[in-house]
A = this chain, B = another copy of it.
Amino acid sequence: MNELTERQKTLLMLVIRDYIETAQPIGSKALVERYHLDLSPATIRNEMAALTEMGYLRQPHTSAGRVPTEDGYRYFVSQMMHKADLPDTVRHTISHQFYQSRQDVDHWMNLAASVLAHQSQALSLVTAPRVEQARFKHLELISTQGRQVLMVLVMVGGEVSQQILTLAEPVPQERLSQAAARLNQILSNRDVEGVASVSARTDALEQDILTLLQQDMRRIGEQSPGEIYTDGLTNVLAEPEFTDSDDARRALRLFEERSMLQDLLSNTVMKSSVGGVQVLIGGEGTWEELRQCSVVLARYGVPGLATGTLGVLGPMRMAYARTIPTVRFVAGLLSDLVSDTMGGE
């Protein structure tokens, strides 16, 4: 399959690099001049014809310059993935920002989104780390007013969920505290099934709470994509692909429809994947909305404890050389933070 000569490879790289920069079809002559190649335009033309034949390049119209195809980008990315790395100074700057910031998940997520958007000049998407298997840690019941009770639920990973529930009748704080204390003792460290198996030997109030609690834990464990942190929308809106074509603009529905994003993130079987970073180019056939876009994704966190996803969405003509290492690096950074904060063994 890999029939590319060395020269064809570098040529392909150059075309793609140029196109990423200029967003304009690249011609043989322009390429020679720009990089002072020791070859004539005619030779380049021949090579380009070969690359076009092989499906890595494409001409928008007869007798226009060449533009990379999806396969072209894929090849480019697969070559790029392992070698590319972020300069040390950038790495330091970024990690410095993280470590000097407040110990606050919310803050970290925002920071990650901001860094990704800035480095890649595209739209960043970050989901908060979510516990894989919700395990009960602590429950708190606080009467707020009348029949309204605030239930605060803490998971082993440190995840907190709060909910206001309305009881059938007013219950004094004392009684609530008793119930909470009892449940805390019984339920400690149990997962969803564990909690479900407790149902015996409780009174009506505790039974009610148990039910809600199960719902909550199931929600946390299963779905709860939670908040999606994002940044750099304006980056991507400035790109010609998005201002011109309706097609690309439609990709921003991902932004609003969490279910799509959910699908996207859970789809772990992807074409180009090295070092934990996955690159989805042009929707890979399945994603109508992403036909003109690329997505660079990575999971982060500690498997079995808590994980999240982060990534960058941009035009197919995206600065992969910068984006991929950034995504990888930030994912690593967040993984460290998760493991530090949530404790692992």
Q: Please tell me which one of the listed residues B137, B250, B341 contacts residue A164 in the complex, with CB atoms under 8 A apart.
A: B341
- List B contacts of A190 (CB < 8 A): none
Within 8 A of B (CB), among A228-257: 231-234, 237-238, 243, 249-250, 252-253, 255-256
A162/B164 in contact, CB under 8 A: no
Q: Does A138 contact B (CB under 8 A)?
A: yes
Number of interface residues of A (CB under 8 A): 38
The reply on A27 being an interface residue by CB < 8 A is: no
Stretch of A69-77, A147-155, A260-268, A314-322 that contacts chain B: A147-155
- Contact present for B104 and A164 (CB under 8 Å): yes
Which residues of chain A from 81 to 127 have any CB-CB distance to chain B below 8 Å in the complex?
Answer: 103-105
A150-B142 contact in complex given A227-B227, A243-B243, A252-B233, C-beta closer than 8 Å = no
Interface residues of A in 323-341 (CB under 8 A from B): 341
Q: Are A142 and B165 in contact (CB under 8 A)?
A: no
Looking at the assembled complex, report how far the CB atom of A335 sits from the nearest CB atom of chain B, in whole angstroms: 17
Q: Which of B154, B165, B249 makes the CB contact (< 8 A) with A237?
A: B249
> Is A103 a contact of B255 with CB atoms below 8 Å?
no
Residue of B with least CB distance to A344: B145
Residues of B within 8 A of A148 (CB): 158, 341, 343
Indicate if A163 sits at the interface (CB-CB under 8 A): yes
A158, B150: Cα distance in complex, Å: 7
Which residues does chain B contribute within 8 Å of A249, judged by CB atoms? Answer: 234, 237-238, 243
Minimum distance in angstroms from A151 CB to a CB of chain B:
10
Q: A164 near B103 (CB under 8 angstroms)?
A: yes
- Given A103-B164, A138-B140, A243-B243, are A343 and B145 also a contact pair (CB < 8 Å)? yes
Q: Which residues of B contact A341 (CB under 8 A)?
A: 148, 164
Contact A166 B233 (CB under 8 A): no
User: What B residues does A146 contact at CB under 8 A?
Assistant: 343
A162 touches B163 (CB 8 A): no
- B256 to A231, Cβ gap below 8 A? yes
- Residues in chain B near residue A32, CB distance under 8 A: none
Q: Tell me the minimal C-beta distance from A331 to chain B in angstroms.
A: 21
Least Cβ–Cβ distance between A134 and chain B, in angstroms: 15
Inter-chain contacts of A238 with B (CB < 8 A): 249
- CB pair B256 A145 closer than 8 Å: no
User: What's the Cα separation between A227 and B234 when bound, in Å?
Assistant: 19
Q: Is the CB of B104 within 8 A of A163?
A: yes
Set B154, B166, B250, B252: member contacting A152, Cβ < 8 A: B154
Apart from A158-B164, A233-B256, A234-B249, list 9 A-B contacts with CB within 8 A: A103-B165, A104-B164, A137-B142, A140-B140, A142-B154, A150-B154, A152-B152, A160-B160, A237-B249
List the 6 closest A-B pairs by CB distance, nearest first.
A145-B343, A160-B162, A103-B164, A144-B158, A138-B142, A150-B158
Interchain Cβ contacts under 8 Å between A and B, 29 examples: A103-B163, A103-B165, A103-B166, A104-B163, A105-B164, A137-B142, A140-B140, A140-B152, A140-B154, A144-B158, A144-B342, A144-B343, A145-B342, A145-B343, A146-B343, A150-B154, A150-B160, A160-B160, A164-B341, A227-B227, A231-B256, A232-B256, A233-B252, A233-B256, A234-B249, A234-B252, A234-B256, A238-B249, A243-B243
